[in-house]
Structure 1
C-alpha cells in the first residue's frame, strides 16, 4: 500500500487540472492549488515513512 502513495498526488493534480480547465482558469491561476496538493501529500508521505521507521 505504501508503495502506491506516489499515485495520490498524481490523481489529485489530475482532478485539480480538470477542474481548472472546466472553469476556464489557466495553470498559472491554479498554481497555489498545486502547491497545496504537493505539500499536503509530502506531509502524508512523510508521516507514513516516519511510522515505518518507528515501528521497525
Structure 2
C-alpha cells in the first residue's frame, strides 16, 4: 500500500528533471505538477478501492 504513495513522488522528480533539462522554470511547469498530483490521486483512490473490494 505504501508503494502507491511513491508514484507521485517519482513522477514529480522525473518532471522536475525534464524541466531542468530543457531550461524551464518550475513556474512554467506548474500545470504538469498539478496533472501529476490529480492523476495519481485518482489512480491511488481507484487501486485502493479495488484492494478493499477484493480482499
- Common fold by TM > 0.5: yes
- Distance (Å, rounded) in 2 between the aligned partners of 1:55 and 1:19: 37
- Distance (Å, rounded) in 2 between the aligned partners of 1:5 and 1:31: 22
Counterpart position of 1:7: 6
* TM-score for the superposition, normalised by structure 1: 0.88
Gaps of 5+ in 1: none
Structural RMSD (CA): 1.0
Q: How many residues align?
A: 55
Deviation >2 Å, runs of 4+? none
